[in-house]
Amino acid sequence: MYALAIDLGTTTLAASLVDCVTGERRVISGSLNPQRSFGADVISRLDVAVGSVSSQQEMTALIRSELARLGRELCATAGIFWGNVRKVAIAGNPAMQHILMGLELTSLAFPPYRPLYTAGTHLYAADLGWDGSAEIYLLPMPGGFVGGDTVAFIYGANPADGALCLDLGTNGEIAMIAGETVWATSAAAGPAFEGGNLSCGMPALAGAISSVRFEEDRLTLQVIGNGRPCGICGSGAIEAITELLRCGIIETNGRLRNPGEIDSNVGARVIEYRGANAFVLYRDAGRLIVLSQDDIRQLQLAKAAIRGGINVLLERSRIQCHALKQVILTGSFGAVVRAEWLKTIGIFDESMVQTSRFTPEGVLAGVEKALAVKDGFAAIEELARRFKVVPLSGTPLFETLFMRHIDFPHC
């Protein structure tokens, strides 16, 4: 008997096939969320959905179809008959889970931004229009835009008391463990960390630049799949900015300097692109891949939202930054994002760097663990009840902190 674990992300989807006897992962796959044509982020999609019943129905049909396709693809890869998948567990933010189930969205789209219910949901394959008889479980949604993906991440990571957990995606989730309470919030970071909304951005798929380094005046790129670059994913964009900051090509306010202001041959890589400066990462006869001034601004906004959210939770939980026992990071970046990079761009400080670790596929790992523990998802439900969700929208403290962290720190 087999189970299907799904991380239902706003930008990217990840799924794995799990052997229910051994609890081991057999195969894993991923794809883009097909709803992205309706908006790059949660708020955009909610706006479209509440304004048009047919649009919401189309979004629901698209995601149900894509998840079924992913499941069948995994089965084919493993040589497993789809009918042998008896359990499915799905974790996403509340908007993604609501749209998947075809639920009414008004309560989530408008203040006070509440999901219709917070407990986990038990369905059957037929409820999502799928073949087979699999039992489907959607993880609890504690509140606001903190959903099953955050619960899964915390469950899988098993953080210590005094830990900070970060899922840097389009809907950036942040959680602080303080005794029996899990303080949690969601920062609207946008899709920049996953390569979205960047001039030449793409998810962490074959062809994505995942690493950018300078060795004197020479630029070295790493590309997923080792082929010709097609774009840049989140990890590549973050490392590119850290390198450009280190070399003084980007100023602390985010400005990309003009070629004449750069005292090295690297200045020749700064060109005019769509009316502003851009840094050329790769160019051949048929393709130009750049990091533009607007891309830098997008990442500034994203990192300011995350750091502002962290500080709000530090204040609410009454934990000092230097007293954090652990910092656990996950996200669909494309490669391991080093803590030093996050310090350079202004998300981490030195004390956070020293206690940080990166957990790849943190949400998916948590869903797999929930499937392997044969308790009827009781532990997941108990964890979700410990959450206290802190809204950031309209919070004066967050707005002040957000503006304070727009600029990059001085290197």
For residue 112, whether the previous peptide bond is cis, meaning omega lies within 30 degrees of 0, is: yes
Among all chains, which residue has been given the structure tokens 């596929």? 361
Among all chains, which residue has been given the structure tokens 């080792």? 226
d(CA 90, CA 307): 28
Q: What is the pLDDT of residue 112?
A: 85
Q: What is the pLDDT of residue 204?
A: 84
CATH of 2-156+363-372, one of 1.10.10.60, 3.30.420.480, 3.40.50.2300, 3.40.50.300: 3.30.420.480
d(CA 249, CA 279): 9
User: Which residues, including other chains, have CB under 8 Å from residue 161's CB and lie 6 or more apart?
Assistant: 177, 178, 179, 325
Q: Closest Cα partner for 10 from 140, 176, 217, 196? A: 196
Q: What is the pLDDT of residue 338?
A: 86
Domain boundaries, the chain: 2-156+363-372, 160-191+298-361+393-404, 198-296
Q: What is the pLDDT of residue 411?
A: 65
Tell me if 2-156+363-372 shares its fold with 160-191+298-361+393-404: yes
Q: What is the pLDDT of residue 217?
A: 80
Helices (H), 79-127: 94-101, 106-109
For every one of its 411 residues, what pLDDT tens digit does the chain have, with 9 covering 90 and above? Answer: 899 999 999 988 999 999 988 888 999 999 989 999 999 889 999 999 999 999 999 999 999 999 999 999 999 999 999 999 999 999 999 999 999 999 999 999 998 889 999 999 999 999 999 999 999 999 999 998 999 999 999 999 999 999 999 998 878 899 999 999 999 999 988 888 888 889 999 988 889 999 999 988 889 999 999 999 999 999 999 999 999 999 999 999 999 999 999 988 899 999 999 999 999 999 999 999 999 999 999 999 999 999 999 999 999 999 999 899 999 999 876 567 889 999 999 999 999 999 999 988 999 999 999 999 989 999 999 999 999 999 998 789 999 999 999 999 976
Q: What is the pLDDT of residue 335?
A: 61
Q: What is the pLDDT of residue 334?
A: 58
Q: Is the pTM of this model over 0.95?
A: no
CATH of 160-191+298-361+393-404, one of 3.30.230.10, 3.30.70.1250, 3.30.420.40, 3.40.50.11890: 3.30.420.40
